[in-house]
Structure 1
Amino acid sequence: MKQKIKNIKALIRAKISPANTQLNIVLNELEDVLNSNKVKPINKANILKIVHLLRSLESTLKLFLDENHIPYNGHSSMGKFFHIYAKHNYAVIGNIDSSELNRYIKNLSDYRNEFMHNAGKYPANENVIKNLLNEIEICLVRILNL
């Protein structure tokens, strides 16, 4: 997990201007995933990991829109960001296709909502975190290279 987070941080650093004041906040959010290992019991550590991973993803999606001067008209939600990446008409970056949009909505946005809107719901085990981290990496590699 540590290496994958290191890779994601490097990707974000490569695509988001160091002058952006939000960059370090996003990178620190990823560092907090690793620091969550100190929390006990494990189910609470795992929900914290999910929160930090998904906050870093959502913030990165927003920062990349900002970097490319693509408006999101105050729509600040992961699902809406994915729809913008699929349907925008700006030449500065490409678009994700409908299968990617559906994948990211299902595996990331809907997944986030499942935990954020259901009190007492916790990830079953560490594999859930690893799978989520893989999905986030796939998503960011694709979107940050549009």
Structure 2
Amino acid sequence: MRYPTAISRLLDFQIVDVGEGTASLRAEVDPARHGNQQGTVHGGFLVELADAAIGTAHSTLMRPGETFTSIDIRAAFLRPVWSDVLVATARPSHSGRTITHYACDIVRSDGKPAATVTSTVMTLRGERAEGR
């Protein structure tokens, strides 16, 4: 597992917990830095936080000569976020040899979910993994 990634450093994501196929990442957010036109934290930031948690979770499953790529991502925004501490927790909902489906919940400090994100990740092996 390579961590922190460049994007995680840029956005100041921190690993809270990591296990086999699971990961939780934390981010302190503020609309002055991460905001949209409505004055709340931008949904794209939430998606990136979830994507980073999912990628961290999947990286724990990689063997030598393997790598991976996301092939889709979908977000449902449930509540607005202002200045807060968010935790994104990713876990597989189905694991296959090549395709793994993940669910990631992003929770505000009050314990309420801000968003739920699902993603499909494909493990690459052999020639498909070379140079990635």
Q: Give the TM interval when normalised to the shorter protein.
A: 0.3 to 0.5
RCO higher in structure (CA 8 A, sep ≥6): 1
Specify which structure has the higher proportion of helix.
Answer: 1
Report the TM-score, using the length of structure 1 for normalisation: 0.34
Greater strand fraction, Structure 1 or Structure 2: 2
Q: TM-score, normalised by structure 2?
A: 0.36
